[in-house]
């Protein structure tokens, strides 16, 4: 009888233990479900927040070795420096049907502090693919090359044509250095849509015409228009024109001899400027090619520039990154007709021949090495006929 009671007690104890384990297992399962629900809610909230605010940035450090322009200076320059540290805040404030959206962008460069660190600050609304409007300060979409981010550009230095005739650098004919950006508004859109692109695209806009983070210094505005035909997702052709009036009073006051070269006899605050040109762009997975011709009148000063560049991209096996090599031929003539000597014999011409090697081991880091041979023609006895430069640049982004 004792054995029977012992057996009953053992069975009851075993059953109680199993019941307790089942209850504990159920509690654990319920706890996991609660935690998963919280994680999913947080992920959904984070994804919704990412729609409104996206942060990205890149920084570029560079080493330059350059021969001096001065024929009497045999030393040249050699320097390490931080070229760009840029941050972007962007997002979609509204997303509608059929791709309609309202988005914004704030883009600034710490290397430009304390003067004009804000590069972009705009808001854009596109209810349909055929029409959109953008207000604020943004990059002028006139040329292919100026529209490329420095973090994605295959070479290190942009072409003479863009730097001198699209207000991309300090050497621009008008004296404005505005990274090809300006304040105003533009209308844009596309027609004949394909998967990921439109065949016919347009940009039409009105801009101040005198720089970033700066009020207009005369009563006129710049007007531009661009027509782009994309025959495929990777290949495009474009033609463009821009009219404006530049205030060249600072140049007239600081350098009257240089101002006389513009051949302008009217008010220095309203020197008429015309820019026109066109080109092609191919950007594929295994290669790239680009070329543009840009010409213009600044007062009576006729200028022109041309560049052709191309290269090959090789995707290394086993996800070891991307290697590319490219070459560029670059031409620029500031004064195609010399208004001082009344002929074309003394027109100064700059030619540049560049090669570039690049390696991107991972998506967020790239190294670039570029060599350039610059040829100066009719630029004066104090300027070397040839100039060499070697540049190494590292870009980190996130």
pLDDT of residue 136: 95
pLDDT of residue 170: 82
Q: Which two tokens stand for residue 247?
A: 């205030």
Global pTM? 0.84
pLDDT of residue 38: 67
Distances (CA, A) of 43 to 38, 47, 90: 9, 6, 20
Q: Which two tokens stand for residue 106?
A: 């704030």
Residues 124-145 pLDDT 10s: 999 999 999 999 999 999 999 9
Q: How far apart are CA 153 and CA 150, in angstroms?
A: 5
Bridge partners of 101, per DSSP, are 95, 126
* Buried-exposed string 341-367: b where 16+ CB fall within 10 A, e elsewhere: eeeeeebbebbbebebebbbeeeeebe
Q: Hunting for tokens 């610059």 — which residue is that?
A: 374
Confidence of residue 6 (pLDDT cuts 50, 70, 90): very low
pLDDT of residue 99: 78
Distances (CA, A) of 240 to 99, 211, 287, 333: 27, 20, 25, 20
Residues 268-309 pLDDT 10s: 999 999 999 999 999 999 999 999 999 999 998 999 999 999
Bridge partners of 96, per DSSP, are none
Please name each of the domains of the chain with its CATH number. 55-397 (2.40.160.10)
Instruction: Please check the confidence at residue 117 and state whether its pLDDT lies above 70.
Output: yes
Q: How far apart are CA 393 and CA 149, in angstroms?
A: 15
> Which residues neighbour 238 within 8 Å (Cβ) at sequence distance 6 or greater?
144, 226, 227, 228, 229, 278, 279, 280, 281
Burial class, 25, CB count within 10 angstroms (exposed 0-12 / middle 13-18 / buried 19+): exposed
Q: Which two tokens stand for residue 117?
A: 């660190």
| Long-range pairs for 205-208: beta carbons < 8 A, 24 or more residues apart | 205/134, 205/140, 207/140, 207/182, 207/183, 207/244, 208/182, 208/183, 208/184
């Amino acid at each position: 009888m004792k054995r029977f009671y012992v057996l009953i007690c053992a069975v009851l104890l075993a059953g109680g233990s199993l019941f307790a384990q089942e209850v504990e297992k159920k509690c654990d399962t319920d706890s996991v479900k609660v935690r998963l629900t919280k994680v999913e809610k947080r992920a959904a909230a984070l994804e919704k927040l990412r729609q409104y605010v996206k942060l990205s940035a890149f920084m570029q450090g560079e080493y330059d070795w350059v021969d001096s322009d001065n024929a009497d200076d045999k030393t040249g320059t050699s320097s390490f420096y931080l070229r760009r540290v840029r941050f972007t805040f962007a997002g979609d404030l509204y997303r509608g049907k059929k791709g309609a959206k309202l988005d914004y962008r704030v883009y600034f460069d710490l290397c430009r502090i304390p003067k004009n660190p804000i590069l972009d600050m705009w808001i854009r609304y596109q209810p349909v693919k055929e029409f959109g409007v953008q207000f604020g300060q943004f990059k002028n979409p006139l040329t292919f090359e100026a529209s490329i981010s420095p973090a994605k550009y295959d070479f290190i230095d942009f072409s003479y044509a863009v730097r001198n005739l699209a207000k991309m650098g300090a050497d621009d004919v008008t004296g404005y250095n505005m990274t090809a950006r300006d304040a105003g508004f533009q209308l844009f859109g596309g027609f004949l849509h394909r998967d990921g692109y439109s065949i016919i695209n347009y940009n039409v806009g009105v801009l101040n015409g005198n720089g970033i983070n700066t009020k207009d210094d005369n009563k006129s505005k710049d007007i531009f228009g661009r027509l782009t035909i994309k025959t495929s997702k990777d290949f495009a052709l474009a033609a463009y024109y821009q009219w404006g009036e530049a205030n060249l009073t600072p140049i007239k006051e600081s350098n009257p001899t240089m101002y006389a070269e513009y051949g302008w006899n009217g008010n220095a605050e309203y020197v008429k400027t015309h820019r026109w040109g066109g080109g092609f762009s191919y950007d594929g997975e295994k290669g790239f090619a680009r070329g543009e011709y840009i010409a213009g009148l600044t007062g009576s000063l006729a200028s022109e520039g041309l560049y052709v560049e191309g290269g090959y991209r090789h995707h290394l096996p086993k996800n070891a990154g991307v290697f590319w090599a490219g070459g560029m031929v670059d031409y620029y003539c500031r004064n195609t007709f010399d208004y001082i000597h009344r002929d074309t014999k003394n027109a100064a011409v700059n030619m540049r021949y560049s090669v570039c090697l690049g390696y991107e081991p991972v998506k967020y880091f790239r190294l670039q090495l570029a060599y350039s041979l610059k040829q100066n023609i009719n630029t004066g006895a104090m300027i070397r006929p040839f100039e060499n430069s070697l540049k190494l640049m590292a870009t980190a982004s996130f």
